[in-house]
Amino acid sequence: MPSRLLHFRLNGDDVEIAAPDHWTLLEVVRYRAGLTGSKQGCDKGDCGACTLHVDGRAVLSCLTLAADVEGRAVTTIEGLVGPGGPDVVQDCFDAAGALQCGFCQPGMMMAARQLVTENPDATRDDIKAALASNLCRCTGYTKIYEAVENACRRARGEADAPATAERAAS
Amino acid sequence: MERKSINRTHGPDAPHGEFHRVGKRARKVDSMAVATGQAVYTDDIALPGMLHGKILRSPHAHARIRSIDTSRAEALPGVHAVVVGTEMPERYGVIPWTPDETALAVDKVRFIGDEVAAVAAVDEDTANAALRLIDVDYEVLHAYLDPHESLEKHDPAIHEDNKKGNVSKHVLLEFGEVDAALEASEVVVEDDYVFHGTAHAPIEPHCAVARWSGDGVLTLWSSTQIPHYVHRLLAKVLEVPAHRVRIVQPYLGGAFGGKSDPFGHEFCAALLARKAGRPVKLLLTREETFYTHRGRHPMEMRFRSGCDADGKITAVDSRILIDGGSYSSFGLVTTYYSGQLLCGPSHFPTYRFDSTRVFTNKPPCGPKRGHGSVQPRFALEIQLDRMATQLGIDPIDFRRRNWQGENVTTVNGQTVTSNGFLQCLDAVERASGWKDKRGKLPPYRGIGIAGSMYISGTNYCVYPNDMPQAGILVKLDRSGLATVFTGTSDIGQGCTSVMATLVAEELGLRLDQVRVVAADSDLCPVDLGAYSSRITLMAGNAAVDAGRKLRKQVQDAVGEKLGIPAGQVMLADGYAFDREDGDRRLTTQEAFQLAEAKFETLSASGSYNTPERGGDYRGGTIGASPAYSFTAHVAEVEVDPETGEIHVPKLWIAHDCGRAISPVQVEGQIEGSTYMGVAEVALEHHEVYGDVGAEAGLHKRPSLLEYTIPTTLDTPELEALIVESIDPEGPYGAKEAGEGPLHGSLPAVANALYDACGIWMTKLPFTPGRVLAALREKRTAEAGVS
Ligand code: FES
Ligand code: FES
């Protein structure tokens, strides 16, 4: 099978990875780079579990040819964790009880991360629209909305909503 | 067989004054690993030298296999092993009385997608190429796609040695004189109801990884929700002693009942790995996950119910045809559940059900959240509303009048202990503004109610034995850590956190002082798994049992140190202290060290078995539970009279889960259940092509896009309300929360449609075309009358 050497920035590091030409970005991050946080739920663009960031924008990595990210910056769910610990979005999802089986959640959080960055004043309708291509089978989305609303609140420099505050303290 | 009941009831009270962990809004103990991407799911496992497996599936709905030639596949470079059905001919079934499955088809295929052969190769592309080189010679047989045809004809039968033709199971049970009661009833309603069939569609596809050690021990990592049954059947089918098999369930990406059966890919991964001498991963595609199915059974249900002039129910009578698809799976239980789980929260003095499950050449059905009872519950709750309407009684009041009460025996011999259904009705009535809305909303908007009950585990153990249904081990370490070893399967419902919370409560620990090791058969005592909503009650009682034994030792040692009676020692929030003088305290770490010095290495096991329950008749224990949960749903709907589209803006759900060990998780179960139930009303439909021809029996929409599970934009607003009736059987009074809150979602929408526009919709799914037809019919009828 024809292969190529890919060069891109992965969670802040410059990497060089050999992979077959036809591999998707999802396959390369999961099975070559070993970053298995990005999930494969359908491999055809339906579920959003594979959502990660390319140059700061959420994309479906199962529909992105790995060759297309040559020279670009890729961030996965693992890359959201910084020296100060988990990202605010990760912390808010955990605190809100938004994570049930969790399989949709890395993708969900990457989509939410972009929203919180771009529109910290997001309304519930904005949140629904931003997450509409990320399917969750467990939660009914309710606690995901609460998590994103709280992340927005923190992004605006405000305190947590009362229920979340109680959970965050635990 | 007589089973020993290990029913150490621990009582509803907090062990140390008030509850410190139970009932608090805490984070899950294991979800930060998920949030940061560290949690390892089955497909995240990569072992040195690992090969990739693929399965060849039948393109025919029903065919005999004349021959299989794998020689060309074996010759393909990169292929390391090929297996066919004759290498694993041992028949099995998750229910031991109905062993009609084999790991791969041996002589016949019975649905499009049935497994025929499997290959392991260096990568998936090579394995897929090898599948195309396997030559199978089929003799195509008549495909049964209509359950009515299966009832009448069975030549050739789908399972040729089945003595009942194409009938998988028939149950007829009558309690009291149903016909006489109906005869004497003031009101009798009768209708045909249809449940159409739906899939679980967890976001994680099935996956298994198998490895044999040099000394012949098989380890299988699998996305299963019942590792113990996989363990038993893997040993049997592969003819390996059970102690040489280790089953590990990694993090699991959703199951909902769809990962309950032992599956062909699990056996294939194991045999391929043995033949290849290398680890093998077998990951199903999304399409394969749909073909594998085991979804909710389609049912055609004729229901007849009666009540007296005061609106008291006199009788319920049902006749149900269940389309089982091609294998038995849990079908014996499904057939019983289609009748046995209806006898609450409304009291019936007489009841009969006559349920028949038949085989068809479709993907096999199995247990889906609310196993067997979601479909008849849909029918029954609409019948209740029809009776209420005829008598001019408010449907919520009608349900109040018929409430069975607490500590009662149902007509079919089940024991109901706590019962918070009235509080559930009050809660949704209040929260939804029912009194201002029912009958008062503008045209084409309406509001509807439904009630339901569900089991917290069942007496009926899938295989008869004398051992505990749940076991647990707890070890206390001088570091101050408690480690809980449990066979329970966390499938997202959060039982790992529930076990940690219970042990923390008993031992006065914070949640960060408890770690849980779960679902690894080498390390953990057996738990029967995540089904029938059994874990919180059964494994929870075992956890309290183990925790309490250790607590006594710790109290003893600390009492000795402080010079006070052991009973005066309290444990809470990481401290052991004198109840009379809180300043006299040690850390729990110091307390554990004192106890270890006094009693030696600290560990305890806990066990649980249900008390004797159920009616004294064949099948009387199936569906008999130590405790039942209760739920009330109110749905608001809007109908577009032009397009027939239904919009459900909001549901209010009150669920009686006994004591809520973890309220955030209970809310999550209520929200997720209701989301899943509402999706079955109009969006989701597992359906195969019915036309005779090459595609007959082919799944119509095996992708998440076409199967249309709800997105954020399709999901109603969900308001979850917790009702806590403290149950004498559950750990601190807890009951189930994972499945009960699904049931009422469907009939509440149907009943709201009547309020909105005066139509009784009885056949799911409620497509726009059907809604329009019902509206037309109603207009025609009204025109005829006027
Ligand atoms: S795996 Fe990419 S959208 Fe489903
Ligand atoms: S948490 Fe399970 S799919 Fe979203």
- Name residues whose C-beta falls within 8 Å of residue B518's C-beta, 6 or more positions apart in sequence: B249, B485, B486, B487, B488, B489, B490, B496, B499, B524
Ligand 2 centroid from CA A137, angstroms = 5
The residue written with tokens 């109906």 in the block is B182
Q: Give me the helix-helix angle, A88-96 and A105-118, nearest 10°.
A: 120
- The protein residue whose alpha carbon is closest to atom 4 in ligand 2 is A136
- Name residues whose C-beta falls within 8 Å of residue B233's C-beta, 6 or more positions apart in sequence: B92, B94, B262
Q: Which two tokens stand for residue B558?
A: 């600390």
Ligand 1 centroid from CA A50, angstroms = 5
B130 vs chain A: nearest CA distance in angstroms?
15
What is the tens place of the pLDDT at every residue in A40-66? 999 999 999 999 999 999 999 999 999
CB B57 within 8 A of CB B49: no
d(CA A156, CA B409): 57
Q: Which two tokens stand for residue B754?
A: 């009547």
User: What's the pLDDT score for residue A167?
Assistant: 59
What is the tens place of the pLDDT at every residue in B290-343? 999 999 999 999 999 999 999 999 999 999 999 999 999 999 999 999 999 999
Interface of B with A in 27-56 (CB under 8 A): 27-28, 31-32, 34-41, 43-44, 46
d(CA B735, CA B205): 30
Share of chain B above pLDDT 70, in %: 98
What 8-state DSSP symbol labels residue B431?
Answer: H
User: What's the pLDDT score for residue B694?
Assistant: 72
| Cβ contact B35–A102 (<8 Å) | yes
Mean pLDDT of chain B: 96
| Ligand located closest to A134 CA | 1
Could you give the residue ranges of the DSSP H alpha helices within B239-326?
264-276, 286-292
d(CA A21, CA B707): 31
User: What's the pLDDT score for residue A151?
Assistant: 98
Return the residue in A29, A74, A100 with the most chain B beta carbons within 10 A, the one to mutate for interface testing.
A100
What is the tens place of the pLDDT at every residue in B709-750? 999 999 999 999 999 999 999 999 999 999 999 999 999 999
Cα distance between the two ends of chain A: 52
Q: Which two tokens stand for residue B644?
A: 């027939």
Longest Cα pair distance anywhere in chain A, in angstroms?
56
- Name residues whose C-beta falls within 8 Å of residue B197's C-beta, 6 or more positions apart in sequence: B295, B296, B297, B298, B323, B365, B685, B686, B687
| Cβ contact A102–B251 (<8 Å) | yes
In chain B, helix, strand, coil percent, each to 5?
30, 25, 45
Nearest CA to A114 out of A45, A52, A23, A37 is that of A52
Taking the CA of residue B704 as reference, the ligand 1 atom at the shortest distance is: 4
CB A30 within 8 A of CB A40: yes
Q: Which two tokens stand for residue A170?
A: 């635990």
Confidence bin at B1 (pLDDT 50/70/90)? very low
User: What's the pLDDT score for residue B305?
Assistant: 98
Instruction: Identify which of B41, B46, B668 has the shortest CB distance to residue A143.
Output: B668
With CA atoms as reference, the chain A residue closest to B202 would be A137
User: Would you say the CATH fold of A88-160 matches that of A3-80?
Assistant: no
CB B514 within 8 A of CB B481: yes
d(CA B154, CA B164): 9
The arithmetic mean of pLDDT across residues B435-439, rounded, is 98
- Which stretches of chain A drop beneath a pLDDT of 50? none
DSSP secondary structure of B492-532: SS-HHHHHHHHHHHHHT--GGGEEEEESBTTTS--B--S-T
Strands lying side by side in the sheet with B445-455: B445-455, B628-639, B646-656, B717-723
Please state which CATH class domain A3-80 belongs to.
alpha beta
Q: Which two tokens stand for residue B110?
A: 């019975």
The partner residues of B82 in beta bridges, in order of sequence, read B119
ipTM of this model? Answer: 0.97
CA atoms within 13 A on the CB side of A123: 1
| Cβ contact A99–B202 (<8 Å) | no
- Name residues whose C-beta falls within 8 Å of residue B50's C-beta, 6 or more positions apart in sequence: B209, B278, B279, B280, B281
What is the tens place of the pLDDT at every residue in B451-480? 999 999 998 788 889 899 999 999 999 999
**Three-state SS for A108?**
helix
What is the tens place of the pLDDT at every residue in B765-779? 999 999 999 999 999
Homologous superfamily, domain A88-160: [2Fe-2S]-binding domain (1.10.150.120)
The residue written with tokens 């600390």 in the block is B558
List the helix and strand counts (H, then E) for chain A.
Answer: 6, 5
- Name residues whose C-beta falls within 8 Å of residue B761's C-beta, 6 or more positions apart in sequence: B750, B753, B770, B771, B774
Share of chain B above pLDDT 90, in %: 95
Q: How far is CA B114 from CA B129, B374, B596, in A?
A: 19, 27, 56
For chain A, which residues make up each domain, given as ranges?
Answer: 3-80, 88-160
Share of chain A above pLDDT 90, in %: 94
What is the tens place of the pLDDT at every residue in B230-283? 999 999 999 999 999 999 999 999 999 999 999 999 999 999 999 999 999 999
Instruction: Identify which of B493, B709, B718 has the shortest CB distance to residue A100.
Output: B493
d(CA B445, CA B752): 8
Instruction: Identify which of A99, A109, A135 has the shortest CB distance to residue B711.
Output: A135
What is the tens place of the pLDDT at every residue in B635-676? 999 999 999 999 999 999 999 999 999 999 999 999 999 999
What is the tens place of the pLDDT at every residue in B538-587? 999 999 999 999 999 999 999 999 999 999 999 999 999 999 999 999 99
CB B58 within 8 A of CB B326: no
What is the tens place of the pLDDT at every residue in A114-130? 999 999 999 999 999 99
The partner residues of B173 in beta bridges, in order of sequence, read B353
